[in-house]
Each structure stands twice: as structure tokens, then as C-alpha cells.
Chains A and B, each alone.
Chain A
């Protein structure tokens, strides 16, 4: 058997039944907050979006970006690790020949933001620090499915130089 504790309702005495003192009590609380917010501005938790935006936390996963090499070309070697790891299957890559010692590069690198769940698996799978989700840029929704696709140029425009060495030094 579950123990049931019966709580008696507080008695509605004459003071409560006349409601004016109780109303006054409530208006005091409301008024305190009103004047504090209007006069001092302290304690407002509402952010005035979109005029004022809260900064995202440092590890926020925003729009993908493709990093660049020293010579400005894309770091990606089109190894398909990201699209293999992607649980939403939202990355489409068409690989091409670079013609130098780096051999392979993405001719097409497309992220379908309508499918993407921003899990960061692609970033984790990338062996050459080419794809990152640390742009801090929020994905802007679009009206058509085609506009949800973000191509290589778009992703590269957010990208900066990365000088990380693949695998690092072996000690």
C-alpha cells in the first residue's frame, strides 16, 4: 500500500476572503520586479533576439567549414571518411586528381543541411583536419531543398589555414 498523506487546505479566513490584502501582497511582488527591471535593467533574462544575440558556447557545432593548406588549396583529400561516418548520409563528395603529391581533392563537396544533424562525426573522422564544425555560424534555413545544399566554395569561404600534420610525429 502506498502511504497517502492528506494535506489540509489552508483555512479561508476573513482576511483571505476579503481578497484586498492578498491582492496587495501579489501586486507588491509584481511591482518590485517591474520597477527593478525598468529602472535598473537587472534581472532581465529575455534576450532581445534578433537585435541582440547571445554568444554561442565555444564548442558549439555550427556550419561546416573546409580548412585550407598553406598554399590556400583545400586540405580535404576526398577520402570519404566523413561521408562514411555520417549517420545522416548528408555529405556528397566527387573526387578528382590534383596532379601533385597530394594526389586527390574533392571536385564536389556538398553538405545537405536538411539532412545534417550536426553531430560532428565528420569532424572526428577526418584524418587531415579538413572539415570542422567550429565556424560558430548558425545554419540559415532556406526555402527550397536545393538551397539547403552547401557546396565546396561556400564551405571553403568559412575555412582558414590549418597547419596540423597528419598523424603528427611518431615518438
Chain B
């Protein structure tokens, strides 16, 4: 276990730890471009040069392993001058088009220039011109002039996505990144290349020119597109999600997220059910609650079926189960959800619902015995009431038909569609970006979903809806359940 000193502070690390990792642990900032904690070390940008007592010249902190008795200095005049020189070299042919560059505001080159160089260029020749706005794939646009050839993107493709699609072409100052001839950058993690890009060379088509980075505020939440439950940050501006970017969660997704999950927010941008509907006509939320609360207890003797969704949070599920049971003790429950899809060996899971595990736990704790959705559909004509929560059901059409057959049919739906159209009483629900609560992923790890957007005025979460209904029926949810429901 080597013990070394960085800027006068001692640290003991495992053998093989790089100096930059040890410095990160101490909270000492060493500037870097090519080093990324989730990627193998390349050591090509030379930005992380530090002085050590074991070498006559500054060494790259991302490459040199810690040795016993190492004395590292990260801020000596020689190191600072080396950084300036490296930055000047990197900026030689950089177009400095920050006003039209999407990375401006979150650009490592911009930040480090202001922190370490901050002097005008001495380069008086014509700058090299390279390819601009080159589409490398369906999601990624490449600007070769801005590129500093740190090769992070190449390493993401090689090591994370296991799809070696990018390559460095040419040499020296003519170097640029490209795909192999006749191919394109189209693996399911291609947008991660834009995340790791320290400059504005790689931009995603999704976020390109949409909003400036400094205008957004990030909400830490969870991706719902599969049961992996990747940690993501929703960047919001003017109550619209502008982009989703992966967050670091070592137990779940590392630093990465798939393209499908990051583009999923578009689904909730249009086609929302904005207001409640009673018998096909728009109605105030309060009136819909009143109608449902009056009809539901009456239907209890004739058989009530509730189709839950594995997109609801654990808190919402507990509140809904408590409400339904107090209104109709004999109600049967089923869990719908999106159909299983393709899995891969990196992150994507086959189960395309975020909270199957959490829902299972809540229902087990409540002692609910589930019936299959098909059975609910088959029994629909004999039911007195059918409640369908959510819209992301694989059997949505069958459920819509079942809703039409049941005498009392209630749907809670964020999106307008066959289910909201078929139900006698339809309540506007929340999208996952308007929800607060807990999801449990396939590995059994519970992660917090946070509200990023202000929902439409009439829309309510499942928990709040259940609580409102219970209040109206004169059977308020008991302490814990009610609190859980109100929170959503």
C-alpha cells in the first residue's frame, strides 16, 4: 500500500492507483481532458502534468501510478507553466466559436483557459480548417475544428459500448475523429460520446442548439425506460425537459445511459390528458373525483378490478392499494406494464418498466394476490368496476375494450389515448418527470425519483388521486398511507 504526499497532504492508496485518482480522493483538482474515471487511461492530452520527486520532468498524473514516498506537487510554478503551454498548444487551431458552441458554459477547455491560461494566442498564421457539422451517426454531430483529440469518445465506443465504431484519422494537427468508411456511429450508447466530450466537438442532435447549458437547472432523477433504473439528470428550462444526461451511480449505471432512455422524455411532450373527463366530456378534477367516489363503493359488491402499472412509485402504489381496499375490500389487482424487450450486456434490461421490483414489494407487504391482466380482461363484462392506472400497458387495446364493457370504468392517464378515451371517468396523471417517489430497480436498489417539471394544473399523481378519492368517500387513508399519497 503506497503512501504518498500530494501538495503536503498524505494519502495511502491501493497499489496501481494513479496519481490523479489519489488527488481526486483528497479533493485536489488536477485539470484533465483525456482522463475520465470511467474509461481506460490514454494519457494523451498532457493537461494533468504534475511535479514529483521521482522524476526530473513533470509527469502525467493520469498515467503515473502512485509509489511509496512519492511527493507530488500540483501547483508549482513549473507545473502551472506546463499547463499554460499545453493549453496554448491545444488552443492553437481551436476556432474559439464559443457563442455558437453548445458546450459553452460546461466546456472544460473554456473553464481551464480561464483558470490556467488566460492570455491571447500567439499564433498568427491562418487556423486549420476541418470538417464542421459532420453527422457521425443518427444522434451525433461532429465538429472537427473544436476537437482536441482526447479520444474519450473512442474509448467509450471501444470499452463501454463494446462497439468500436470511431477511429482517429490523420496525424499531428490534421488529426480528427471519424467512423470507418461506410459505417456510422449508431450503437445504443452513442450519446455517451457527447457526454464525455470535454469540448463541443461532439454534440447530440437532440440537444444541439436547443438551449444553452447555463440556462438549464438539473434535477437528479431516475430513467424509467428499463428496470436498470439508470441515474439521470433532467436538465430543465422553462418547465420543459431539454435533455437527459446520465449521472454517476457506481452500483447502477456507472457513468453511462443508453440513447433510448435519454430520448424517452419526448413521449410526454405532446398528447397529454390535460383535464379530467366524465363520460367523454371535460370536467373539473373535483367533479370527476366526486363522481368516482360516489360510484366506487357501490360497485364493491359486484366485483372491482384494478390494473396497476409498474411505472408508479412505491408510495403511490401503497396509497392506491389502501384506497381501493377501503372502498372495495374484495377488489382484485393486476399489474400491467410495457412488454418485455431486448436486453444487452451493458445496461439495458429486458423488463421495460422501472418499478416492477418495488411494486412487488409493496403488494407483498399489503398481502395482495395478483391476477394476470388477461384474466381481468376476460372477466371485464362481469365486473362492476374496472380501474386502469397508467397508459404504458402492453395490452392497452384489450384493456380499453375491457373498460368499455365495465359499467364503471376509471382510468388515470398522463397521456390521452385509447385507455383515457374508453374510460367513463378519466383522470389526468403525471409523467415520470413530474413525479416524486421511489423506484426499485431489478437489482433491488431503491432510487429516488424527483419531480423536475410542474405538471398541468389538473393532473395528479396516483397517490394524490387515491388520497383525494379516499377523502371524498369519507374514508381518509391512515397516517402512513395518506402521507405517502400526499407526497406524490
Contact = CB atoms under 8 A, between A and B. Distances in A.
Interface size class of A (residues with CB under 8 A): 10 to 19
B100 A103 contact: yes
A71 interface: no
Interface stretch (B158-166, B206-214, B255-263, B285-293): B206-214
A79 B214 contact: no
A66 to B, nearest CB: 16
Contacts of A102: 100
Contacts of B212: 79-80, 84
B58 to A, nearest CB: 30
Nearest to B209: A95
Interface in A93-135: 95-97, 99, 101-104, 127-128
A79 B209 contact: no
A81 interface: yes
Contact of B215 (A78, A80, A97, A103): A80
A170 interface: yes
A96 B120 CA distance: 31
Interface string A53-76: 000000000000000000000000
Given A80-B212, A84-B215, A170-B120, A97 B133 contact: yes
B132 interface: yes
Mostly, the A contact residues are loop
Contact of B132 (A84, A101, A170): A101
B214 A103 contact: no
Nearest to A81: B99
A155 interface: no
Contacts of B97: 103
Contacts of B215: 80, 84
B133 A103 contact: yes
A131 B418 CA distance: 48
Given A84-B212, A84-B215, A99-B133, 16 more contacts: A77-B99, A78-B209, A79-B100, A79-B104, A80-B212, A84-B214, A95-B209, A95-B210, A97-B133, A97-B208, A97-B209, A101-B132, A103-B97, A103-B100, A127-B99, A170-B120
